[in-house]
Structure 1
Amino acid sequence: MARWNAAARYTSALVLTLALSSCGAAPGPTEADAPGTAQADAPGTVQAEVSPHPESTAAAAAPETDWTALDSAVRDYAATLPVEFSAAVYDELTGESWTFEPRTEYFEASLVKVPMLLTLFREVTDQGRELTTDEEYLATQMIRYSDNEAARWMYSHIGGAPALAATYDLIGVSRTIPGERWGVTATNAEDQLKIMRTVAEGADWLREGLRLYLLGLMESVDPSQAWGASAGAAADGAEVALKNGWLPDDALLWNVHTDGVINAGNARYDIAVLSSGHKTFPDGIVVVEKVARLVYDFEKSGAADAAGGNAAFGPRP
């Protein structure tokens, strides 16, 4: 069992008291109204620090990473495709980030299930209590199996859009605006990377045990949903915590996304890859996995060397 996986802390028998119908590996919600697609920053943007955590200052002293090889590879790949994708990466060893079309908008789909749980955990932390059996069950169903019915129950339980918006404010998410229906909100890779950084680094409003519990769930998703951010990394034995999202738009073209936190020893990074315009769901998986693999190959071969093997935020639990 990988060292992140703190789910065992909550492994008491889970008694189901809410009547739920599991959606298993079915896609996210289909009652979607297509959000507009907005183009913003030029591709290949490098940022020294995008953290919503001002206490993280060690990154400023880390050597700069040359992202040219990754930027070139991703641009070349994008030029071959009739679809759109965006990517954002935060290197935990250098404290730097790289983005490609970071603000192009996509359906959030099931990616929202992670910040839903962050919202629950924020409330639980504030209340000074433990998760209930029902909350544990819903959390497991939402992350490991991407169960939409569990997410519907959870969205109501946490207080819906206002509660989720409060969490986004704390994280620094600015362009993902929660609505009455979860999953059909427009989001972008820049916001999704901020969410993954919160999962990886923690926050003062999030109890550490709950953060580790979420990482454990993301590390143990159902094998049928372990694609995406894991490309390349999982085969090399890296620790991979991920959540994917997928949803067709009104034209029946697919949005397919992957978010993740990767620990491959000398390659430690957070990643978001979002895409749209795919004719089929499997086509979307191919694209996001290709981008994720390009990122992993770059991180494994060179990005960490710039930091001399020193983590910007200290060792991960």
Structure 2
Amino acid sequence: MGASRRRLNRRKVVLFILIILAAFWGIHHFTATSPRLKSAWNKIIFTSNNNVAIAVYSPKTHRTYSSSNVPNHKFHMASTVKVSVLAGLLVKQDGVLSSHQRSLAKQMIEASDNNSTSELFDDLGGQQGLQSTFNQFGMKDSTADSSWGLSTTTAKDQIKLLNNIFYKSNLLSADSQQYISSLMSNVESDQIWGVSASSDNFALKNGWLENGNEKWIINSIGYVKNSNGTSYTIAMYSDKNQSMQTGEEVLNQLARVTKPILN
């Protein structure tokens, strides 16, 4: 009886030590990662003439990291809203799309086709349906517009959506998650920038729009999986870019400096 108690007590001590070590590692990794990311990002963000925001979620630390040179600014979503449209429609229809809707979804995500988006946007319920989608995913800083590309959001809000696609979700089934991920992993070559600049193993949806005083709106959201098995979700938004090319390059730079820190 005494020996059994001693063994039980030893196991409790070992378990306690393991818990403490795990907690210490989590805190250490977070405190080490956060300033490195901020420093790397801010060298790019605060030397840009455009408005830029980035947010990244690491499942290793269970933390979202973010930075922006316009902290309270909301960005027009352009074509990145198409991920919200598809996710919202899958939630609305319990994961079941008609063959026609699937054909439209493929065109919407992979080719960024606007006509397909408008049809699925109507199926979702238009502006009201999109706002309902934002609300369901806890995207409190996102506002739907009747012109879907002019809906506004923040990089951190997009991380909430992306985490529901690539990690745990109470809204999307595993099949729905895989379906969205597969489309985002198969975008056409004109979308291979932004999130994809740092990796060959990615899923993304980019957005670009020339819009008056905002000049070029250039956005990129998605997921990266590293060769060592680690992964992260990432959202980058910008406007007031002088050209599409200069906006893309800023996002490419941010994506490139992010990967080695989260690897």
Same-fold status (TM-score > 0.5): yes
**Runs (4+) of structure 1 moved beyond 4 Å?**
none
The residue type equivalent to 1:293 in the other structure is: R
Aligned pairs, how many?
234
- Write the mapping of 1:73-222 to structure 2, written as runs, cut at 5 A: 73-101=40-68, 103-125=72-94, 130-222=96-188
Going by fraction, where is helix more abundant, 1 or 2?
Answer: 2
After superposition, residues 276-295 of structure 1 pair within 5 angstroms as 276-295=239-258
Taking the aligned partners of 2:224 and 2:44, their CA distance within structure 1 comes to 22
How far apart, CA to CA, are the structure 2 residues paired with 1:252 and 1:188?
16
More deviation, 61-70/153-162: 61-70
SS at match of 1:183: helix
Task: Check the 8 A contact 2:213/2:240 in 1, yes or no.
Answer: no
Match of 2:235 among 262, 272, 277: 272
Percentage of identical aligned residues:
28
Contact residue 116 and residue 155 of structure 1 kept, 8 A: yes
- Classify the secondary structure of the residue corresponding to 1:80: coil
In the alignment, structure 2 segments of 5+ residues that lack a partner are 1-21
2:261 pairs with 1:298? yes
Counterpart CA distance in 2 for 1:280 and 1:185 is 21
Which of the residues 248, 257, 260 maps onto 2:210? Answer: 248
Deviation at 1:89, TM superposition (A): 0.5
- What is the letter of the counterpart of residue 174 of structure 1? K
CA contact (8 A) 1:103 1:190 kept: no
**CA distance in structure 2 between the partners assigned to 1:205 and 1:196 by the alignment:** 12
Once the two structures are overlaid, the 10-residue window that deviates more, 158-167 or 89-98, is 158-167
The 3 A distance-change label for structure 1 pair 252 and 162 is: closer
My pick for the range that moved more, 142-151 or 163-172, is 163-172
Q: 2:55 touches 2:236 (CA, 8 Å); kept in 1?
A: yes
Find the aligned partners of 1:259 and 1:279 in 2 and give their Cα distance.
Answer: 21
Aligned partners of 1:225, 1:197: CA distance in 2, in Å? Answer: 21
Shift of 1:103: 4.1
Stretches of structure 1 lacking an aligned partner (at least 5 in a row): 1-59, 301-317
RMSD of aligned residue pairs (Cα, Å): 1.7
- Paired residue secondary structure (1:288): helix
* Superposition TM-score, scaled by structure 2 size: 0.84
Higher relative contact order structure (alpha carbons within 8 Å, sequence separation ≥ 6): 1
Q: TM-score, normalised by structure 1?
A: 0.70
User: What is the one-letter code of the residue matched to 2:221?
Assistant: D
Q: CA shift at 1:232, angstroms?
A: 1.9
* Aligned-residue offset at 1:80: 2.1
1:67-96 CA-to-partner distances (Å, cap 9, x unmatched) read 212211211222322112100010012211
Secondary structure of 2:180's match? helix
The one-letter code sitting in structure 2 at the alignment partner of 1:299 is L
What SS does structure 2 have at the residue aligned with 1:230?
Answer: helix
Q: Quick one: distance in 1 between partners of 2:121 and 2:236? A: 24
Q: Residue 196 of structure 2 aligns to a residue in which SS?
A: coil
Query: Cα distance, 1:162 vs. partner?
Result: 1.6
Task: Tell me which moved more, 225-234 or 244-253.
Answer: 244-253
